[in-house]
Amino acid sequence: MENLLALSDGRFIDNPKWLRRIEAKIAKKQRILSKKVKGSKRWKHMCKQIAKLYLKFARQRRDFYFKLAAELVGDHDLICTENLNIKGLAQGNLSKSVLDAGWSVFLRHILPYKAWRVGREVVYVPANGTSQTCANCGALAPKDLSVRRHDYPHCGFSVHRDINSALLILQLDLERARRDRVNARSCLQEAVGFS
């Protein structure tokens, strides 16, 4: 996975791939650890060094996500995202990349927390078909995961697959907001009618 996030304004947030950066160091330390006598002083010292590497990885990712959430919340009043089944994605063929990205921590904890702090809203839109539907005309445009560009010949809309999904997610939430507003108005009119 090259990109961590795709925004509806056409920008991408690159995937820093923290775990990939340090996995060679971790593997080297674990090879050294395997040669130590379990329970010895040197074995315990090597365990601490491996734990420090994992802690560094976790802190880097957490720091990046807090800064990213602050930027997104500062730039946007409403944040719409797919309601991803991250547990299911982590069992697929991209599991290492999905777990390295740490979407669950960001989308379920850090982003809503930052949004709540400044009075913004995070909305989760069902992920069904967001990458298979054209954001321009709404027609179904099936494609494999390997196809990274959304080219729909019927309406001539051509954009990166993830940007198409981001635009569609935004449209779905705006439609939901309009329906809620209409429902609220009709309830208000009914309430006024009964008074």
Q: What's the maximum distance between 2 C-alpha atoms anywhere in the chain? A: 81
pLDDT single digits (tens) 59-109? 998 999 999 999 999 988 888 888 877 777 778 777 777 777 777 888 889
Q: Which distant-in-sequence residues (6+ apart) come within 8 Å of 29 by Cβ?
A: 46, 49, 50, 53
- In degrees to the nearest 10, what's the CA dihedral of 76, 180, 81, 112? 70
Q: How far apart are CA 111 and CA 108, in angstroms?
A: 7
Confidence category of residue 112, pLDDT binned at 50, 70, 90: very high
**b/e per residue, 45-70, with b = 16+ CB within 10 A?**
ebeeebeebeeebeeebeebbeebbe
* DSSP string over 87-146: HHHTTSTTHHHHHHHTHHHIIIIIHHHHHHHTT-EEEEEE-TTTTTB-TTT--B----TT
Check residue 47 and give its pLDDT: 96
Check residue 194 and give its pLDDT: 42
Token readout for 163 is 């940007």
What one-letter code names the amino acid at 38?
A: K
Q: How far apart are CA 7 and CA 165, in angstroms?
A: 9
pTM to 2 decimal places: 0.79
**b/e per residue, 96-108, with b = 16+ CB within 10 A?**
ebbebbbbeebbe
Percent of the chain with pLDDT over 70: 91
Check residue 32 and give its pLDDT: 95
- Helix then strand then coil, in percent of the chain rounded to 5, is 55, 15, 30
pLDDT at 193 over 50: no
pLDDT at 131 over 80: no
Check residue 184 and give its pLDDT: 57
- In degrees to the nearest 10, what's the CA dihedral of 31, 32, 35, 36? -140
pLDDT at 152 over 50: yes
Mean pLDDT of 163-177: 83
Q: How far apart are CA 133 and CA 130, in angstroms?
A: 6
Confidence category of residue 48, pLDDT binned at 50, 70, 90: very high
Q: Can you give the residue ranges of every domain in the chain?
A: 3-185
- More confident call, 40 vs 141: 40
What mean pLDDT, rounded, does the chain reach? 82
